[in-house]
Amino acid sequence: MAELQAPKGVPEYFGPRGAAFRAVREALSLPPQRAGYGYVELPVFEDTALYVRGVGESTDVVAKEMYTFEDRGGRSLSLRPEGTAGVMRLAIEHSLDRGQLPVKVWYAGPFFRAERPQQGRYRQLQQVGLEAIGSSDPLLDAEVIALADEGFRSLGLVQFTLQLTSLGCRECRPGYRELLQGFLARLDLDDATRERAAINPLRVLDDKRASVQQQLEGVPYMVDHLCADCSAHYDAVRDGLRRLGVQWTEAPALVRGLDYYTRTAFEFTHHLLGAQSGIGGGGRYDGLMSSLGGQDLPGIGWGLGTDRTLLACDAEGLAPGAGPGVDVFGVPMGDEARGRLLELGHALRGVGVRFDLAFGERGLKSAMKAADRSGAPLTLIVGDQEIAAGTAVLRDMASGAQEQVPWESVQPIVLQRLDSSEGTTT
RNA sequence: GUGGGUAUAGCUCAGCUGGUAGAGCAUCGCGUUGUGGUCGCGAGGGCCGCGGGUUCAAGUCCCGUUACUCACCCCA
């Protein structure tokens, strides 16, 4: 056991796993990029008050899962537990809300929650997120949802469901909330649940315990008590999803852990993941910006779990980012050959060929072994004979076929071979 | 925060009723001259998580502790 270990609950990715992780992140962030979302790089920590006001004081995320600390100036800071609040702050601070609307941004990176770790639940979790601020068009909701769906599908995932509901607005939610609290008050619940029912009654709906679920028979749902506007909005969202060919399941008991959600709320659930099955989720947050001191602009967004999406890929037998890391591997015999291959490789990289080289003084055999392990389809072998003849040996690793190539024509020939074997990537 | 499980080689694990440690994979080398993947041979690598106890003797039994892990809670 190593003396120094990574902090508890922090996943690390390296080797093929690192490639897979990166591939997942890219796949999830590609749809937003193609839809005109701009990249934002956000701070990893913010003023604690931002999360208390934005995410909600009563949420578990803020109440007991934040990494909060004081800096040297006595300011209370917190590692970001989610991304939306930070984007709102950035948009307000830099007056993005005064410009072209909607403001569409995406981001990716680590978030932090001090939870007890388990499969798919980490203290440092990775997300790809997106926010669209300044439009309440229900078709935007549909598009936002479709962009998430597209990301998952582009990885080859199919064993997941989109759960969809509407959480109402400040007009219809209070009435429903009272109705629900009235219902919950008559149930036999433990203290903790009773308290939750008082603070955020919606939360009780997705309690997984059978003892609670049995009693929820006949509970009123928000979707059945939407005001006319919310109801029309929800209909239009569903219509948009139909146009985009996105399938969903009505999930009236769906609850989001963050307080700011209004109207459209959704979650992507993977069927093969066990307890931590949510691979992404989001929704509308029409009152959030004004509550943080900005204009009263509506917004919608999502966060997709990069770690969990990778686990979902595992579960479905998918291997994102697999394949060789380089196209050509250099096998030198002798110092002069190594130096020449270093130069040649540099030039090859310049035209987009991925190249690696057997560094160090090693024998041909061992260098060939390294070439094999690199996965490169082509190997360039150079020794004294080749130097004398002004050539290099180009070996096709799959077939074992070798050819003498004039030094000056190595580059075009390599490009041609890579092109014809079509196994190239960027 | 609440419950359960597991800690032995880099990785995956075996080690039955206590007798001072094994396999597969991986790594490195060899199988003669400048050729990888297959095959054969060999080598390196372990305070058996940590601390205490029982015993002539503990990887093995008991207690504690720490870490990991799964589930609840919560969420990505």
Q: Tell if A196 CB is < 7 Å from nucleic strand B.
A: yes
Q: What is the ipTM of this complex?
A: 0.83
State the pLDDT confidence band at A424, using cuts at 50, 70 and 90: very low
- Residue A118 placed within a domain: yes
Total number of domains constituting chain A: 2
Tell me the average pLDDT across A380-397: 94
Q: What's at A127, amino acid-wise?
A: Q
Q: Tell if A127 CB is < 7 Å from nucleic strand B.
A: yes
Query: Taking the CA of residue A36 as centre, how many other CA atoms within 13 Å lie in the half-sphere pointing to its CB?
Result: 9
pLDDT-wise least confident of A1-10, A107-116, A127-136, A260-269: A1-10
State the pLDDT confidence band at A111, using cuts at 50, 70 and 90: very high
Using the predicted structure, report yes or no on whether residue A203 has a pLDDT greater than 90.
no
Q: Which residue has the higher pLDDT, A233 or A334?
A: A233
SS3 A147: helix
Tell me the average pLDDT across A367-389: 93
Tell me what percent of the residues of chain A surpass a pLDDT of 70: 98
State the pLDDT confidence band at A3, using cuts at 50, 70 and 90: low
Q: E-assigned strands of A202-298? A: 249-250, 262-270, 278-284
Using the predicted structure, report yes or no on whether residue A17 has a pLDDT greater than 50.
yes
Residues A129 and A275 placed together within one structural domain of the fold? yes
In 3D, which of A362, A356, A369, A355 has the Cα closest to residue A334?
A: A362
Among the candidates A315, A350, A385, a domain finishes at A315
Bases of chain B within 7 A of a CB of the protein = 1-2, 27-30, 34-37, 49, 67-76
Using the predicted structure, report yes or no on whether residue A64 has a pLDDT greater than 90.
no
State how far the alpha carbon of A53 is from the alpha carbons of A58, A314, A371, in Å: 10, 37, 56
pLDDT of residue A115: 85
Among the candidates A315, A337, A354, a domain finishes at A315
pLDDT of residue A261: 87
State the pLDDT confidence band at A160, using cuts at 50, 70 and 90: very high
- Residue A88 placed within a domain: yes
Residues A113 and A25 placed together within one structural domain of the fold? yes
Residues A24 and A85 placed together within one structural domain of the fold? yes
Residues A106 and A137 placed together within one structural domain of the fold? yes
Positive or negative, the CA dihedral A80, A53, A192, A181 is negative
Q: Tell if A385 CB is < 7 Å from nucleic strand B.
A: yes
Residues A343 and A245 placed together within one structural domain of the fold? no
Q: Which domain holds residue A57?
A: 16-172+226-315
Among the candidates A292, A315, A338, a domain finishes at A315
**CB atoms near residue A306 (< 10 Å):** 26
Q: Which residue has the higher pLDDT, A144 or A257?
A: A144
Using the predicted structure, report yes or no on whether residue A210 has a pLDDT greater than 80.
no
Tell me the average pLDDT across A258-277: 87
Using the predicted structure, report yes or no on whether residue A382 has a pLDDT greater than 60.
yes
Q: Any idea what the Cα angle at residue A420 is, between residues A418 and A425, rounded to 5°? A: 45
Residues A409 and A265 placed together within one structural domain of the fold? no
- Residues A322-339 pLDDT 10s: 888 899 999 999 899 999
pLDDT of residue A1: 55
Tell me the average pLDDT across A259-267: 90
- Residues A271-322 pLDDT 10s: 888 778 899 999 999 989 999 999 999 999 999 999 999 999 988 888 898 8
Q: What is the CATH number of the domain that holds A372?
A: 3.40.50.800
Residues A54 and A139 placed together within one structural domain of the fold? yes
- Residue A97 placed within a domain: yes
Q: Tell if A333 CB is < 7 Å from nucleic strand B.
A: yes
List strand B contacts in A 217-276 (CB < 7 A).
255-258, 267-268, 274-276
Positive or negative, the CA dihedral A243, A133, A83, A28 is positive
Q: What is the CATH number of the domain that holds A300?
A: 3.30.930.10
Distance, CA of A3 to C1' of B59, in Å: 22
- Residue A412 placed within a domain: yes
Tell me the average pLDDT across A134-153: 97
CB A142 within 8 A of CB A135: no
Tell me the average pLDDT across A376-399: 94
Using the predicted structure, report yes or no on whether residue A232 has a pLDDT greater than 80.
yes
pLDDT-wise least confident of A97-111, A214-228, A399-413: A214-228
Q: Tell if A128 CB is < 7 Å from nucleic strand B.
A: no
Write out the H or E segment, with its range, that includes residue A341. Answer: helix A335-350
Per-residue burial over A206-226, b = 16 or more CB atoms within 10 Å of its CB, e = otherwise: bbeeeebeebeeebebbbebb
- Residue A208 placed within a domain: no
Q: What's at A15, amino acid-wise?
A: G
Residues A292 and A394 placed together within one structural domain of the fold? no
Tell me the average pLDDT across A163-173: 92
Tell me the average pLDDT across A214-237: 92
pLDDT-wise least confident of A94-108, A195-209, A224-238, A359-373: A195-209
- Residue A71 placed within a domain: yes
State the pLDDT confidence band at A109, using cuts at 50, 70 and 90: very high
Residues A152 and A281 placed together within one structural domain of the fold? yes
Using the predicted structure, report yes or no on whether residue A155 has a pLDDT greater than 70.
yes
- Residue A191 placed within a domain: no
Query: Taking the CA of residue A51 as centre, how many other CA atoms within 13 Å lie in the half-sphere pointing to its CB?
Result: 26
pLDDT-wise least confident of A17-21, A106-110, A210-214: A210-214
Tell me what percent of the residues of chain A surpass a pLDDT of 90: 64
List strand B contacts in A 23-82 (CB < 7 A).
59-61, 65, 82
Q: Closest nt to A337 (CA→C1')?
A: B34
Question: Taking all residues of chain A, what is their mean pLDDT, rounded to a whole number?
Answer: 90
List strand B contacts in A 135-194 (CB < 7 A).
none
State the pLDDT confidence band at A426, using cuts at 50, 70 and 90: very low
